[in-house]
Amino acid sequence: MNTTAVLVLTIAFCVLFALVAWCLVKLDKVHSLLFQTESQVTANLSRMEAKISSDLRQIESCATANLRKVESQATTNLRQVMSQTFATERNSFAQIESLFGLYKDLDFEFSLPHSRGFPASPDFLQAVHHTIKRLAPKVVVECSSGMSTLIVAKTLQQIGAGHVYSLESDRYYCDVTRALLEKHKVAQWATVIHAPLTATEINGKSFQWYDTSALANIEGVGAMIIDGPFGGIGSLARYPAGPQLFSKLQSGAEVLVDDYNRPDEKEMVALWLEQFSELKKTVEPCEKGCARLVKR
């Protein structure tokens, strides 16, 4: 082998060695880069796993808390519904008891028209009956006619004395009540007065109140029932009963106010108590509320 050939082989070997060395360096860099990438991916995955775990715990915690709130609210609502249902059933039973009591106490020959809703409820009617029976008044005045007129007239018939004067603004209901009294054979114990609502000024304020001219000569009222006019005609619609009629009450007389659960009736009675110091109030546990005022 000549010198030239040896030189060529030497150069070729050196080039090959340099190339192999360069490749090894590159492979080492690639391996280092891959290791770094793997470490970053592993770290990112760990962070993602931790974040997901934290989010899941928060979701689970929120869901548990919300479920507890829903469960608590559902329990509260159920208790309220059960309480309301029980109160409704108890009240309905009380109304049935009162209605049966009226049939028994007053020995009605014919059935009574429907009560509750717009008409007076049986418990209020029973309070009316017991009051009239206890007081045995010679004169009873009533604001608004209907079932209560019949109950008063029937009780007076049972006592054997007294008369009820019922103010009614609607001529149709005058006829309905008169027919009811005739049907139950107590017309002689009651007078239904057609008393249209007229503008009435009291203490500078205008009200729609019954024309009470037919009661001008009526005195010595032993009992009074306030269940009209219709409250929807205006604020404190029944307030004029005090200034217009209370002067006719005799000592010991009692006034029964229906619908006392309503704000207007509460305010009305409060005003009466301020203006008529001789009145004393008690409250009866009736379906729509009942205030009893006694003149001392």
pLDDT in tens, 50-84: 888 888 888 888 888 888 888 888 888 888 887 77
The model carries a pTM of 0.75
Question: Tell me, what's the pLDDT at 99?
Answer: 92
* Residue 183 domain flag: yes
pLDDT tens, residue by residue, 277-288: 999 999 999 999
* Residue 101 domain flag: no
* Residue 140 domain flag: yes
Contacts of 209 by beta carbon, 8 Å cutoff, 6+ apart: 197, 198, 200, 229, 240, 244
The answer to whether residues 128 and 252 belong to one domain is: yes
Contacts of 241 by beta carbon, 8 Å cutoff, 6+ apart: 143, 224, 226
Q: Which of 94, 125, 141 is the last residue of a domain?
A: 94
The answer to whether residues 125 and 272 belong to one domain is: yes
Closest CA to 150 of 115, 117, 98, 118: 115
The answer to whether residues 77 and 218 belong to one domain is: no
| DSSP string across 33-48 | HHHHHHHHHHHHHHHH
The answer to whether residues 149 and 47 belong to one domain is: no
The answer to whether residues 146 and 177 touch, using CB atoms and an 8 Å cutoff, is yes
Q: Which amino acid is residue 105, in one-letter code?
A: D
The answer to whether residues 192 and 273 belong to one domain is: yes
| pLDDT, averaged across the chain | 91
| DSSP string across 105-127 | HHT-SSPPPP-SSSSPPHHHHHH
Q: Which of 41, 68, 94 is the last residue of a domain?
A: 94
pLDDT tens, residue by residue, 93-128: 889 899 999 999 999 999 998 887 788 999 999 999
The answer to whether residues 112 and 102 touch, using CB atoms and an 8 Å cutoff, is yes
The answer to whether residues 116 and 208 belong to one domain is: yes
Range of the structural domain that residue 174 is part of: 107-295
Count of the separate structural domains present in the chain: 2
Q: Which of 31, 66, 94 is the last residue of a domain?
A: 94
In this structure, of 34-43, 160-169, 201-210, 239-248, the range with the lowest mean pLDDT score is: 34-43
* Residue 99 domain flag: no
* CA within 13 Å, CB half, 269: 24
* Residue 67 domain flag: yes
221: left (phi over 0), alpha (psi -120 to 50) or beta: beta
The answer to whether residues 86 and 113 belong to one domain is: no
The answer to whether residues 90 and 141 belong to one domain is: no
Q: Which residue is it, tokens 């150069």? A: 11
The answer to whether residues 87 and 114 belong to one domain is: no
The answer to whether residues 162 and 291 belong to one domain is: yes
Q: What's the CATH number where 270 sits?
A: 3.40.50.150
Angstrom distance (rounded) from CA 257 to CA 250 = 17
* Residue 43 domain flag: yes
The answer to whether residues 210 and 143 touch, using CB atoms and an 8 Å cutoff, is yes
The answer to whether residues 27 and 89 belong to one domain is: yes
Confidence of residue 143 (pLDDT cuts 50, 70, 90): very high
* CA within 13 Å, CB half, 13: 6
The answer to whether residues 269 and 131 belong to one domain is: yes
Angstrom distance (rounded) from CA 116 to CA 146 = 12
Closest CA to 236 of 196, 265, 259: 265
* Residue 168 domain flag: yes
